[in-house]
């Protein structure tokens, strides 16, 4: 079968955030973890009850970076990605503001090429450290930015900056998140039931209550967009991705989402956060986006509403439930089945997970 024929045979397209794929790969080292058990149940459902030849589960550059950032010995994870994706690779067509999907000839070669290019990028970047530091410090001292963090927060940011040598221009993202932790703001927003208009009204209410944003007269989403484009780092990306990044930052600034201080302080935080936003940018343009990251899911739902996107957003548990419901509905239409059990067995170890059949429950957002 040619790649074109294989592509035309697909009936479903599922984009998984890397956290789900990683928990499938790592299940046997974490068998007591219910999240990992659900993820492996998902793998069983897909491979035993569904035809993967008719299901496209592509990988993206964000998956490659997630794996390489996590370990330099990535052969086993690459083999799993090869198996589950069947080497279908999804990427952004920046010029046309779209995504595209291609068949990769050799996924191991693809990973190795990216790994080598990342090493080269680090070497090149180190030669420009003085310029990068100068640009970073200039960004911190931007008038609007210094007003936003006000005197106390601004000095703390400068102190954080001096404590760590800036090796990557992306480090500015990490400092932004540290500033958000300093703010210690948390707003509860029910993104599940509000309309787009109600969502905007609630977000802008949080903006009015935010001292940092109100101090520079950023009291609406439109004004935040102007502030974002003027002050925060942008790199080559499509207009769609710019919107995704901007709304994600807005969620953090108003306290709708917030990463833990321990996570923010990790060396890999900045690159991991950017990978998450790339997952978001690509996943929200696929029919189905599945993530177990609570913050990323919240951002996904907000972006979907604000941009009127036609995508179904699942967490892992509800996606398993959705697949099981579809399977039971098709294969046992006349049977009043109340539950569905998934058995996992390997090396004489056995685990079981039970799903309750409920066709009335809304499983995606």
Alpha helices by DSSP H, listed for 58-142, are 61-70, 75-85, 107-127, 129-140
> What's the token pair of residue 3?
């790649």
> Domain map of the chain by residue range?
3-122+314-356
pLDDT at 211: 66
pLDDT at 311: 96
Q: What is the pLDDT along the chain (365 residues), one digit of tens a residue?
A: 788 888 888 889 999 999 999 999 888 778 788 888 888 889 988 988 888 889 999 999 999 988 887 766 778 889 999 999 999 999 988 888 888 999 999 998 998 888 777 665 555 455 545 554 555 555 555 656 555 555 555 566 566 556 655 445 455 566 666 666 666 667 778 777 678 888 888 888 888 877 667 666 778 888 888 877 776 555 567 889 889 988 988 888 788 887 776 776 676 676 778 788 899 999 999 999 999 999 999 999 999 999 999 999 999 999 999 998 888 888 877 667 777 777 776 666 777 778 888 888 888 89
What is d(CA 339, CA 51) in angstroms, rounded to the nearest whole number?
22
State the CB neighbour count (10 A cutoff) for residue 145: 20
Read off the pTM: 0.85
Which residue, 123, 132, 99, 121, is CA-closest to 237? 99
Encode 250-278: b = buried (16+ Cβ within 10 Å), e = exposed: bbbbbbbbbbeeeebeeeebbbbbbbbbb
What is d(CA 9, CA 11) in angstroms, rounded to the nearest whole number?
6
State the CB neighbour count (10 A cutoff) for residue 328: 18
3-state helix, strand, coil in the chain (%, to 5): 60, 10, 30
Contact 353, 341 (CB under 8 A): yes
2: alpha, beta or left, given left = phi > 0 and alpha = psi -120 to 50?
A: beta
* Residue whose entry in the numeric block shows the structure tokens 């932790």: 181
Rg of the chain on CA atoms, in Å: 22
Helices 18-25 and 34-49, axial angle in degrees (round to 10) = 90
> What's the token pair of residue 283?
């996943």
pLDDT at 189: 80
Contact 15, 85 (CB under 8 A): no
CA torsion sign, 133 to 139 to 142 to 146? negative
> Could you give the C-alpha distances from 214 to 147, 148, 158, 228, 290, in angstroms and in order?
10, 8, 22, 14, 35
């Amino acid at each position: 079968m040619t790649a074109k024929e294989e592509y035309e045979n697909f009936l479903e397209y599922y984009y998984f955030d890397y956290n789900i794929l990683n928990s499938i790969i790592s299940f046997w080292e974490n068998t007591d973890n219910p999240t990992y058990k659900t993820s492996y149940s998902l793998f069983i459902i897909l491979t035993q009850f569904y035809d993967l030849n008719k299901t496209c589960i592509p990988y993206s550059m964000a998956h490659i970076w997630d794996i390489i950032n996590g370990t330099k010995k990535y052969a086993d994870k690459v083999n799993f990605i090869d198996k589950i994706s069947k080497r279908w690779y999804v990427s952004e067509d920046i010029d046309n503001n779209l995504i595209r999907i291609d068949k990769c000839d050799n996924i191991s070669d693809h990973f190795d090429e990216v790994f080598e290019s990342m090493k080269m990028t680090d070497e090149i970047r180190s030669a420009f450290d003085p310029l990068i530091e100068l640009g970073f410090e200039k960004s911190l001292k931007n008038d609007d930015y210094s007003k936003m963090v006000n005197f106390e927060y601004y000095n703390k940011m400068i102190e954080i900056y001096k404590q760590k040598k800036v090796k990557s221009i992306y480090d500015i993202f990490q400092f932004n998140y540290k500033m958000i932790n300093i703010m210690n703001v948390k707003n509860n927003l029910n993104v599940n039931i509000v309309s787009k208009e109600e969502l905007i009204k609630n977000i802008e209410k949080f903006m009015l209550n935010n001292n940092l944003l109100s101090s520079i007269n950023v009291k609406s989403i439109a004004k935040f967009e102007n502030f974002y484009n003027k002050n925060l780092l942008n790199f080559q990306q499509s207009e769609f991705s710019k919107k995704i990044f901007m709304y994600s930052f807005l969620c953090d600034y108003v306290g709708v989402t917030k990463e833990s201080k321990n996570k923010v302080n990790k060396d890999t935080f900045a690159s991991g956060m950017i990978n998450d936003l790339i997952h978001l940018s690509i996943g929200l343009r696929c029919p189905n986006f599945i993530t177990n990251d609570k913050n990323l899911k919240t951002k996904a739902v907000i972006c979907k509403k604000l941009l009127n996107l036609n995508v179904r957003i699942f967490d892992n548990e509800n996606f398993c439930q959705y697949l099981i419901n579809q399977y039971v509905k098709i294969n046992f239409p006349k049977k009043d089945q109340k539950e569905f059990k998934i058995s996992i067995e390997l090396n004489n170890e056995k685990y079981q997970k039970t799903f309750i059949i409920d066709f009335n429950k809304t499983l995606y957002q």
